[in-house]
Structure 1
């Protein structure tokens, strides 16, 4: 699989380096490069582009503004972004628009390749999910990886008791640790990561592990020392689960 790419940066040297790195990576194809995001947006609207490498601070239209525009379009998962910037303070905003990665200038080819490989793996998963299943599906993974501070942490599904929204982060509560893991991601992303037969969203701020529920009383779930209210919008689905649980 070859990913069609666009490079956007208003600094000529930075744009040339980015274009060079894309061109020397076997699974990437540089379709176009731009020094301004408005021109790039016009091109992206008219052409198939899977991966955008771009700076954040640019005149007229910033990289973050362009990412928000693209994130609001239908099928936004078909075009993803990797930010390349000299300013680390934009990292949280980058995750809000579901950027695949965040390269801090000056970055090496090794840094670039790691980010590009992450993008390749993302599109491989999308491709495999859309492909017709001819053979028996492989067993589901019993773990996920979470970005915690500046590292990826492997978390076993059976260790998770519940997930709690916390500002721009989520708290992942585990049986094996006294304190939850704090990960910079969204509840929506956690819903997609966690298997629906084992986890359920019961409130806009909570996802629970179904096999960790100790008791339920008056729409309040007890998991260990934690009491979690079932939100009004989630009651019907949770009551269906309870009906099956009690049979």
Structure 2
């Protein structure tokens, strides 16, 4: 299936790059480009249906987050539209999750990273087609279950299936990771993959990087402070680099 897309960014170079990436991707079709969120809103409310919006966050007059909330309230009724945020500021990641963004690209990003987000959009709409989701779904409603709720990791000479719901936390050790699981917390799985590469494979709605050496499963957190996370008997530090995003996440309970 071909997905119709628009790109919104007030920086001409960034806008041009996203448009070029869209046109380079066979299953995407660029139907509009806008240098402001206000222009994009007008086009969305009066133009043809759009599957995916590649949307910058920091823009004058109307930010990308504000546009997402306006579209959610407007309830365009017959169209399923998903947003991929593009921004140079990682502190907006949690806000992106809260408005149900499909993905979040941190500038500067390359085509491989863009293609990963675009492929996630294609998987989503393929699933919508296969499950015959009714078209009358409000914009940015809670997503259906992901296409996959597991991944395979290379462990010694075989690929081992790891269910997302079984993961407690992940520790990075140079070129390896240790995956700690609910099913066997005393025997972590050791796999030859970098923490960054594994982070890119995990759903952003379920996992958060809190330290250069740790990723935690959000549903497995038992207790926390502003500087640490407790999962079972493990106390995991939250480093300065990730405190802003983590602080926004925990602010709802403080």
User: In which range does the TM-score fall when normalised by the shorter chain?
Assistant: 0.5 to 0.7
Against the structure 1 CA distance between its residues 177 and 114, is the aligned structure 2 distance closer, same or farther, given a 3 Å change threshold?
A: same
1:144 lines up with 2:149 in the alignment: yes
So what's the TM-score if we normalise by structure 2? Answer: 0.55
Against the structure 1 CA distance between its residues 76 and 107, is the aligned structure 2 distance closer, same or farther, given a 3 Å change threshold?
A: farther
Deviation at 1:156, TM superposition (A): 3.4
Question: Any idea what the Cα deviations from partners look like across 1:160-187, whole Å, max 9, x if unmatched?
Answer: 9xxxxxxxxxxxx933337xxxx8638x
**2:205 pairs with 169, 179, 185, which one?**
185
Once residues 204 and 123 of structure 2 are traced to their aligned partners in structure 1, the CA distance between those partners, rounded to angstroms, is: 20
- Aligned partner of 2:80 in structure 1 is 78
Once residues 114 and 81 of structure 1 are traced to their aligned partners in structure 2, the CA distance between those partners, rounded to angstroms, is: 14
1:156 lines up with 2:176 in the alignment: no
Against the structure 1 CA distance between its residues 158 and 64, is the aligned structure 2 distance closer, same or farther, given a 3 Å change threshold?
A: closer
Question: Any idea what the Cα deviations from partners look like across 1:70-115, whole Å, max 9, x if unmatched?
Answer: 2342659710000111001100111111111111111101111111
Q: Secondary structure at the match of 2:184?
A: coil
CA RMSD of aligned residues (A): 3.6
So what's the TM-score if we normalise by structure 1? Answer: 0.56
Unpaired stretches in structure 1, ≥5 consecutive residues: 133-140, 147-153, 161-172, 187-204, 206-247
Once residues 11 and 55 of structure 1 are traced to their aligned partners in structure 2, the CA distance between those partners, rounded to angstroms, is: 9
Structure with max Cα Rg: 1
Once residues 108 and 166 of structure 2 are traced to their aligned partners in structure 1, the CA distance between those partners, rounded to angstroms, is: 38
- Aligned partner of 2:190 in structure 1 is none
Against the structure 1 CA distance between its residues 104 and 29, is the aligned structure 2 distance closer, same or farther, given a 3 Å change threshold?
A: same
Once residues 165 and 18 of structure 2 are traced to their aligned partners in structure 1, the CA distance between those partners, rounded to angstroms, is: 41
Once residues 158 and 92 of structure 1 are traced to their aligned partners in structure 2, the CA distance between those partners, rounded to angstroms, is: 20
**1:130 pairs with 125, 132, 138, which one?**
132
Once residues 71 and 82 of structure 1 are traced to their aligned partners in structure 2, the CA distance between those partners, rounded to angstroms, is: 15
Do the aligned partners of 1:8 and 1:52 also contact (CA within 8 Å) in 2?
yes
- Aligned partner of 2:96 in structure 1 is 94
Question: May I ask how many residue pairs the two structures share in their alignment?
Answer: 161
Work out which structure has the larger RCO, using CA pairs closer than 8 Å and 6 or more positions apart in sequence.
Answer: 2
Against the structure 1 CA distance between its residues 145 and 23, is the aligned structure 2 distance closer, same or farther, given a 3 Å change threshold?
A: same
Against the structure 1 CA distance between its residues 13 and 130, is the aligned structure 2 distance closer, same or farther, given a 3 Å change threshold?
A: same
Once residues 8 and 75 of structure 1 are traced to their aligned partners in structure 2, the CA distance between those partners, rounded to angstroms, is: 22
Once residues 155 and 75 of structure 1 are traced to their aligned partners in structure 2, the CA distance between those partners, rounded to angstroms, is: 37
